[in-house]
Structure 1
Amino acid sequence: MEFDASKRNFPPFSLKRLMETSFGKGSGERLCILIDLPDPTEVKDFAFLDNPRLSIQNYGHKVFYQGFQNGGLEEMNYKDGDFFAYKETGGSNLDMEDECYDINGNKLSLDKDIYPNYQVILVVSTFSATAPLTAKAKEFGFRGATLHGLNQIIVDTGLSVNYQQVSDEAELLRLGLTQADWFEIDFEVEGVTTTLRLITDGQEAQKSHGLCPPGKPDVANLPAGEVYFVPEGAEGQFPFKYDEETLGLLTVKDGKIVNSRLIYGDYALIEEHNAKLVDDPMVGAIGELGFGTQVLPFSGRDIQDEKILGTIHVATGRDDHLGGKLTPDMFKEHKNASHDDVLYAPHKTPEVRVPEVRMRKGGETTVIMGNYRPGKFMVDLLTAGS
């Protein structure tokens, strides 16, 4: 197995290969594409295409809508390929407003006009819609995929891989990590080392692997490729990058972030975060621990970069879409009920070292990662299956 993305050859992107691998061969299902827009009425006559700031939505039109309209629907045995827009939520995995619009400018309802009438729904958006779309898939019975943050690197690499292979490799790592008692992550910033322990208590690991076959309502997150847990508890401290100039140290007790302390930068951001934690403690709830499983180039977008082998992410907020118990109704305000990944990767957090990640399982403690590289344990799992 090649562990250097710069030496890996990626085949040209194929919409047909992606759809057939992720969803299986089409059988006449109705399919549509959803995008988010600051003003969803600008989907009329594709007016949003003239806005260079909406590059993600442009990819939704170019790669998927045009790809299906230019013979792809018939070739893959789908119908319609319709295109709709809803108002951007303003946060990762926040529930979407029901109002949406079609390319003729007609106002429609997601619950009444879209979810019950399409069997495959693809969402290309600025803000992740994985959590709300997963809930709607269970309610209405459709399958789908969320593809937020698309750019050309993602199209050329993360969406061009063979997702059966991605699933197989993720399964090798899942089997190696599953039923662990806890994971510990060491962080080093400004010469100070802290540790965050995430308690998994023998829980079965899950995987995001890009496959959403017929027969079961489900939503794939693309690009895919991670093994993840919904922690049952967490304790310790970990650094948090607020922006390029500001770094804070978060203290975690009983599974929640309880406060932030300034390491360097803008203290006002620390104060704002602490006030939010006091006002709505669920904002600090730890909702996920994830390990990337793919060998891919960094894209500058978390949707792909958190799937890269050697990276690790911790998420705060709702986790109901992952099988957890943190639901939107537990938050004081709707705008707080997001699911936000905190990614640690060499290009994104170069000021944060992660010298060691350990797993406790079966009475033994094993080093599984270090310095943004898979350890011997992970490498052996992957090479044994190749």
Structure 2
Amino acid sequence: MILDPNERRFPPFKLTRLLTTCFGKGNGEKVCVLIDLPNPADIEDFKFLDDETLSIQNYGHEVFYKGFKAGALAEMNWTGGEIYAYKETGGSNLDMEDECYDPEGHQLSLDRDIYPNYDIILTVSTFSATAPLTAKCKEFGFRGATLHGLNQIILDSGLAVDYDAVSEDAEKLRLGLTQADRFEIDFQVEGKIYTLILHTNGQEAQKSHGLCPPGKPDVANLPAGEVYFVPESAEGVFPFKYDESTIGLLHVKDGKIYKSQFVYGDYAEIEAHNARLADDPMTGAIGELGFGTQVLPFSGRDIQDEKILGTIHVATGRDDHLGGNITPDLFKEHKNASHDDVLYAPHKTPEIRLPEARMIKDGKTEVLIRHYKPAEFMLRLLEAELPVEA
């Protein structure tokens, strides 16, 4: 079903403002749109538009592909504007199959026909493609953005903001958190407190800020707005919400989850998780700690909600796209080599309280977050002026 333009809109001026801010003033760059489909051949004659379950891909067609055809390309001084489909990977940040299709029904190759021939690649998908595209951009030299889970709330808010301002706020928080020794996060479930400790050992903090200027192959994750680390080790216990009825406690040592402990709900979920951990221990590797930096409405999609100030996310799995050493070849099976964010936010995990998150740096402890709200330290960082050299 084609999206109703009266209900699902992203004005052309917002599209050009977003892309010009993220990628810089155009200079004839060639751009394309990638979407994922259960059957990528269904892009032929845009058959997928009749499937109401493919709303994300519909946005890729309506907002980006049709927006380019309606004049955005010329306004930005870009060329191209084609759209292609690849097979849905089935998991977050899993490597993509090489086969893809165009609307004329031609079977193509991402490595042969797409990556070498485009300067900017925008991927609107169900599952995040940030990790595989980050690897491919370094190999082929393109820039791009991943926009998985797109919905109207994200279009109206997370993609409608000034990314120069987003980048500035992310840098303020990055400078305040960088080179921390460790982070301690307290979680409360069923009246009991559990603590996860993540060691960063003076590591430079990184930021997802939405800017991908010319001159360097890179892939932005949009909406953006977070400061993140690749922990060198971790230990402790933290809760995990399997579904609306099941909570488990994940036990961590030496940087990996090694078991899940039942709290309430469906015990079979806990057993299944423990079986996966036993079969492939790398699925429990802690690959990221992230802090949101933006003031945004909750969208119901982690891609935006993890960027909201006061939220925290801990990711498991591969982290090579973030500068870490957990690569897909370390997993027992390809399907296990995902990067999965575990988001803690009041709307998503109301059963899990977040009494406090702390940073230990240079022998000093700073409280960052209390009850899903930024503490005074983080607010002071945001109010400060950036150093001139930043």
TM-score (norm 2): 0.96
Aligned residue for 2:117, secondary structure, equals coil
The total of aligned residue pairs comes to 377
1:264-309 CA-to-partner distances (Å, cap 9, x unmatched) read: 0111110110010011000000000000000000000000000000
Check conservation: 1:12, 1:156, Cα contact below 8 A. no
Residue 57 (structure 2) aligns with: 57
Shift of 1:385: 3.0
Name the structure 2 match of 1:179. 179
Aligned twin of 2:230: 230
Assess if the C-alpha contact under 8 Å between 2:92 and 2:340 holds in 1: yes
Structure 2 partner of 1:252: 252
Q: Distance in 2 between matches of 1:74 and 1:232?
A: 46
Structural mapping, 1:217-366, within 5 Å: 217-366=217-366
**Equivalent residue runs for 1:130-149 within 5 Å:** 130-149=130-149
Distance in 2 separating the partners of 1:212 and 1:290: 20
Counterparts of residues 12-27 of structure 1 (less than 5 Å): 14-27=14-27
In structure 1, stretches of 5+ residues that fail to align are 1-10
Question: Alpha-carbon deviation of 1:29?
Answer: 1.1
Q: Distance in 2 between matches of 1:366 and 1:216?
A: 35
- Residue 30, structure 1, aligned to residue 30, structure 2: yes
Q: Aligned residue for 1:103?
A: 103
C-alpha distance in 2 between matches for 1:355 and 1:380: 20
CA drift at 1:366: 1.1
TM-score by length of 1: 0.96
Q: Give CA deviations for 1:327-376 in whole Å, capped at 9, x if unaligned.
A: 00000000000000000000000000000001000110111111000000
CA distance in 1, matches of 2:28, 2:58: 26
After superposition, the C-alpha distances for 1:14-50 in whole angstroms (9 at most, x for unaligned) are: 0110111000011111110000000101101111111
**In 2, Cα distance between equivalents of 1:381 and 1:36:** 39
In structure 2, the gaps of 5 or more residues are 1-10
Instruction: Please state whether the residue corresponding to 2:30 is helix, strand or coil.
Output: strand
Query: Partner of 1:97: helix, strand, or coil?
Result: coil
CA distances 1:74-123 after superposition (whole Å, capped 9, x unpaired): 11111110000000000000000000000000000000000000000000
Aligned Cα root-mean-square deviation (Å): 1.2
Provide, for residues 181-240 of structure 1, a one-character-per-residue CA deviation record: whole Å limited to 9, x for no partner.
000000000011100000000000000000000000000000000000000000000000
Amino acid at match of 2:213: P
Contact map agreement 2:12 2:72 (CA 8 A) in 1: no
Inter-CA distance 12–100: structure 2 relative to 1 (3 Å threshold): closer
Question: In structure 2, the residue corresponding to 1:258 is in which secondary structure?
Answer: strand
Contact residue 12 and residue 67 of structure 2 kept, 8 A: no
Counterpart code for 1:381: L
Call closer, same or farther: CA 1:28–1:104 in 2, change over 3 Å.
same
SS at match of 1:247: strand
Taking only the aligned residue pairs, the percentage that are identical comes to 75
Partners of 2:256 and 2:84 in 1: how far apart? 38
Q: 2: distance between equivalents of 1:43 and 1:77?
A: 27
Aligned partners of 2:115 and 2:142 also within 8 Å: yes
SS at match of 1:168: helix
> Superposition pairs for residues 135-174 of structure 1, below 5 Å?
135-174=135-174
Which residue in 1 is equivalent to 2:84? 84
1:164-185 deviations in whole A, cap 9, x for unaligned? 1000000000000000000000
Give the distance between the partners of 1:154 and 1:268, measured in 2 at CA. Answer: 34
Q: Distance in 2 between matches of 1:91 and 1:32?
A: 23
Q: What displacement does 1:12 show? A: 9.3
CA contact (8 A) 1:12 1:160 kept: no
Q: CA contact under 8 A between 1:13 and 1:156: conserved in structure 2?
A: no
CA distance in 2, matches of 1:40, 1:246: 34
Measure how far apart 1:13 and its partner are: 6.6
